[in-house]
């Protein structure tokens, strides 16, 4: 079993605690009087509490509230160091630093610049500046696809898209009409004249010399 004062990797913590529970249940079951489930719950609680207390640097007899506070402090200090804040920074300071870092990197990625800044304030792109830059980039790309000016607004782009769709639809309809006309059977040609065609009026043979 690993030393309680040497916490395992985060991905191994769950497996480690499972082993602690199994070991505790095994010891409890071997007790001839091991029928008191309240005693089993107490044993598991004490075992896990001592283990986790050792991981976070709390006293072995610390209660869960103390362990939780210690865990929060260690987690906060680690994340504060990661984002470049003071070790004792509170969560609002840390989350603000994280937000600034994410916003700064995203602004660099999309090449967003501050549209307006208050006098004396550091010129950093805001979320609204980033959103506007992304919208302009997307609009410019769509405009180039449909064949409008790069700075065209959405109504203009929409109208051009509609024109393309209508042209394509008309072309498809005309193609279908031509195909139907090509496959149609030829019409019967009727020759009209002044004389009526001969008609048989009797079944009696005609005498050729009569």
Q: In the prediction, which pLDDT does 28 show?
A: 83
Helix (H, G, I), strand (E, B), or coil: what is residue 151? coil
Judgement on whether residues 108 and 68 belong to the same structural domain of the protein: no
165 and 105, same structural domain?
yes
Cα gap 101→92, rounded to integer Å: 14
pLDDT for the residue numbered 185: 65
pTM over cut 0.85: no
- What range defines the domain where residue 169 resides? 90-177
Spans of the chain, pLDDT less than 50? 1-2, 120
Domain-ending residue, one of 75, 103, 130: 75
Residues 50 and 101 in one domain: no
Considering the domain architecture, whether residues 37 and 110 belong to the same structural domain is answered as: no
Q: What is the pLDDT of residue 25?
A: 87
Do residues 96 and 168 both lie within one domain?
A: yes
φ, ψ (nearest 5 deg) of residue 99: -60, -40
How many domains are contained in the chain?
A: 2
Helical ranges in the chain per DSSP H: 10-30, 37-56, 64-83, 91-110, 127-146, 154-183
């Amino acid at each position: 079993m690993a030393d309680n004062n040497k916490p395992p990797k985060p991905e191994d913590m769950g497996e480690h605690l499972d082993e602690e529970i199994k070991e505790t249940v095994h010891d409890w079951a071997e007790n001839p009087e091991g029928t008191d489930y309240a005693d089993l719950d107490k044993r598991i609680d004490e075992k896990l509490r001592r283990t986790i207390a050792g991981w976070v640097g709390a006293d072995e007899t610390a209660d869960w509230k103390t362990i939780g506070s210690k865990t929060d402090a260690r987690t906060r200090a680690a994340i504060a160091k990661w984002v470049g804040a003071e070790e004792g920074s509170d969560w609002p300071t840390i989350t603000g630093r994280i937000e600034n870092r994410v916003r700064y990197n995203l602004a660099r990625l999309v090449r967003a610049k501050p549209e307006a800044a208050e006098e004396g304030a550091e010129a950093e792109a805001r979320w609204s500046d980033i959103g506007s830059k992304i919208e302009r980039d997307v609009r410019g790309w769509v405009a180039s696809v449909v064949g409008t000016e790069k700075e065209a607004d959405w109504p203009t782009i929409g109208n051009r898209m509609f024109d393309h769709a209508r042209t394509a639809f008309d072309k498809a309809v005309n193609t279908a009409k031509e195909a139907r006309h090509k496959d149609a059977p030829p019409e019967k040609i009727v020759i009209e004249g002044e004389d009526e065609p001969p008609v048989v009026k009797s079944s009696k043979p005609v005498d050729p010399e009569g």
